[in-house]
Amino acid sequence: MRVDKLAVEDFRNYGKAATDLAPGVNLVVGRNAQGKTNLLEAVHCLSGLGSPRSPDVALVRNGADAAVLHALVTRGERSLTLDMEIKPGRGTRVLVNKTPVSGARALGALTTSVFFGPDELSLIKGTPDGRRKFLDDLVVKLRPAREGLRREWDRILKQRNALLKSAPRGHRGELATLDVWDDAMCRVGASLTAARIEVLAALLPHARKRYEAIAGAGRLELTYLSAWVSRELCDQALVDPAATDERQLQEMLAAAVASVRARELDRGISLVGPQRDDAGVLLEATSQESTGVLDARMYASQGDQRTVALALKLAELDHLSEVTREEPILLLDDVFSELDPLRRSWLGEAVHDLGQTLVSSAEPGAIESAAADRVIEVVGGTLRDVSV
Amino acid sequence: MFAPPLQRLIDELSKLPGIGPKSAQRVAFYLLKVTPSEAGLLADSITEVKEKVRLCAVCFNVADEEICQYCRDSRRDSTVVCVVQEPPDIAAIERTREYQGLYHVLQGAISPIEGIGPDHLRIRELLERLRHPADGRPPATEVIVATNPNTEGDATAMYLERLLTPLGVRVTRLASGLPVGGDLEYADEVTLGRALGGRRQMGA
Ligand SMILES: [Zn+2]
């Protein structure tokens, strides 16, 4: 899939701006703080999953009450118009070919993209919630109908936490419903966890291949880290996700929840479940200094961590292409400057084998502009085609 | 700030559900333009609804007498009670013409975030009704839980199932087919009719 034309209104620092995009590599150049990242972010918003960086409220230009995106999109043989109005607090209105669509149907009808920027290092270095979001976003991108599952999980967790918080003050009536929320939590939590493990298992072979190609050596391992899912089930599920028994997960969560009941009532918050799980990223080192399997979060160099993060994102792209039979749009925000020359040239080559790509860079020489199909210059929220 | 009487009207209107400050202002200025008799009709209908419409003493549906039209109707099947969250849900189910039993309106759903627990709903009254049926009518043997198909509606249904099953009544829940995350009130007749036909026993 690709975006052929994009117009933005009141989006971040843009008043009104529009540009054509090439099917292949689009290089977005300009000095810092002119709106390069914002342009990539606008393309990402066309996927209906919001900003990769911040809450929707930040997307609207100061003083405006809504940000608007218009795009002409090609998917397979079909040409679609997308119109999107992002109104913080009021939600996002989506028109596909001028017809309103909503919910899971909208996500299925929109574009899919993979965003990689300097912040993506936090995928390795940061707190578990970034890795959970990565998995959960991918769960939804792969099967838009699961947006409902994710929403239901969030709602159940919020309701259960509200109930636990009210507990110590002795509302006996309300506490009578805790069993009900436990059941809901275990049922929906098991489904969400099974979906996450399935995604992780699917990513693993792609991530390994990409990591080896970028790093030249070494082996990447991914694991699902959880205080309530047994190690055996996690390991088995990563090898054969189809065999994951949701009922078994449900029982494990129920047992774990029962074991922390007293502490939960005491603390007034849910202490165990998918909301505390994590994805483990391990590197099997092959260098002279160290051997063995190391946790990439703690032991890898910044350069290696960046390589792992990039491998995960490209694995996401590979897996999405495989499942949806359409190549997602790749958005590479200011990543070339962070890579060493070897990895930079590898990535520069690799993007030519992918679908539509937008690459932003402050350094004109980051990727040879001759290698780009289109070069767009961003100056103070205006867009200009400067292709040679 | 507008003249105090106008500002007060705007403030009162903006307390209504689904009406923000902008709509409240629009409605207020519209009301300024209508004739006194038209405005009087609106004011009277608000007063009248508060005076004459109340909740049915049996099922908590809206009623213009002590007992609502469904509870009064002796042709309806008193062995089945359909539990809904709000009165408009009854109207939606009636439109299907699939259902001949009685109703019970909970006046909400369990939602700890909003501080709503079972004690805030008409659950005690439901239990009371099931234990002591109205004179001369056969007791309920089935309770159909028709709460909204969302997180709070589901939790309420699960809670009711646990509470009612020990009483020896059959507890059923509307079958899926309803849009998840929506309000029962807005479901179309076909979907709702099918859901009623396919209701299933809970915990089975
Ligand atoms: Zn009644």
| A213-241: pLDDT as tens digits | 888 888 899 999 999 999 999 889 888 88
Percent of chain A with pLDDT over 70: 92
How far is A188 from chain B, CA to nearest CA, in Å? 10
Statement: residue A279 has pLDDT above 90: yes
Q: Taking residues B154-165, report their average pLDDT.
A: 94
Closest A-chain CA to B180:
A148
**Which chain A residues are closer than 8 Å to B115 by Cβ?**
166
Mark out the alpha helices in chain A (DSSP H runs): 36-45, 103-109, 122-125, 128-142, 147-166, 172-175, 178-215, 231-239, 246-259, 261-267, 296-299, 302-324, 341-350
Domain definitions of chain B by residue range: 4-52, 62-201
Between CA B143 and CA A338 the distance in angstroms is: 64
**Which chain B residues are closer than 8 Å to A103 by Cβ?**
181
Q: Is B17's Cβ below 8 Å from some Cβ in A?
A: no
Within 138-197 of B, beta carbons closer than 8 Å to A belong to 150-152, 154-155, 158-159, 162, 180-181
| A192-215: pLDDT as tens digits | 999 999 999 999 999 999 999 888
Q: Taking residues A259-285, report their average pLDDT.
A: 91
- As to burial, measured by CB atoms within 10 angstroms (0-12 exposed, 13-18 middle, 19+ buried), residue A324 is middle
- Position A103 scores a pLDDT of 60
Interchain contact, B119 vs A184, CB within 8 Å: no
- Mean pLDDT taken over chain B: 88
Instruction: Name the 3-class secondary structure at B128.
Output: helix
CATH architecture of structural domain A1-112+326-388: 3-Layer(aba) Sandwich (3.40)
- Position A345 scores a pLDDT of 81
Tell me the CATH class for B4-52: mainly alpha
Closest B-chain CA to A149:
B180
| A116-172: pLDDT as tens digits | 988 888 889 899 999 999 999 899 888 776 777 888 899 999 999 999 988 765 545
Q: The domain B62-201: what is its CATH number?
A: 3.40.1360.10
Statement: residue B145 has pLDDT above 90: yes
Q: How far is the CA of B152 from the centre of ligand 1 (A)?
A: 24
Closest in A148, A156, A177 to B159, CB measured: A177
The predicted model scores a pTM of 0.81
ipTM of the complex: 0.74
| B34-64: pLDDT as tens digits | 999 999 999 999 998 888 889 999 999 999 8
Closest A-chain CA to B117:
A174
Lowest mean pLDDT among A225-229, A317-321, B7-11, B136-140: B136-140
What are the CA-CA distances from residue A71 to residues A154, A321, A370 (Å)? 31, 21, 26
Between CA A383 and CA A36 the distance in angstroms is: 9
- Position A370 scores a pLDDT of 57
What are the CA-CA distances from residue A369 to residues A25, A37, A331, A349, A386 (Å)? 10, 18, 17, 13, 10
Structure tokens, A126? 């940061």
Residue A72 DSSP symbol: E
Percent of chain B with pLDDT over 70: 87
In this structure, are strands A78-87 and B54-55 parallel, antiparallel, or unpaired? unpaired
Statement: residue B178 has pLDDT above 90: no
Between CA A92 and CA A86 the distance in angstroms is: 4
Within 92-111 of B, beta carbons closer than 8 Å to A belong to 110-111
Statement: residue A290 has pLDDT above 70: no
In this structure, are strands A357-361 and A329-333 parallel, antiparallel, or unpaired? parallel
| A161-183: pLDDT as tens digits | 999 988 765 545 556 789 999 99
In this structure, are strands A78-87 and A91-96 parallel, antiparallel, or unpaired? antiparallel
Interchain contact, B159 vs A183, CB within 8 Å: no
Residue B116 DSSP symbol: B
- Position A354 scores a pLDDT of 87
How far is A282 from chain B, CA to nearest CA, in Å? 37
Interchain contact, B158 vs A152, CB within 8 Å: no
Q: How far is the CA of A19 from the centre of ligand 1 (A)?
A: 63
Between CA A48 and CA A27 the distance in angstroms is: 23
Between CA A250 and CA A182 the distance in angstroms is: 10
Statement: residue A371 has pLDDT above 70: yes
**Which chain A residues are closer than 8 Å to B20 by Cβ?**
none
Structure tokens, B89? 């849900």
Interchain contact, B113 vs A177, CB within 8 Å: no
How far is A170 from chain B, CA to nearest CA, in Å? 13
Closest in B118, B162, B181 to A148, CB measured: B181
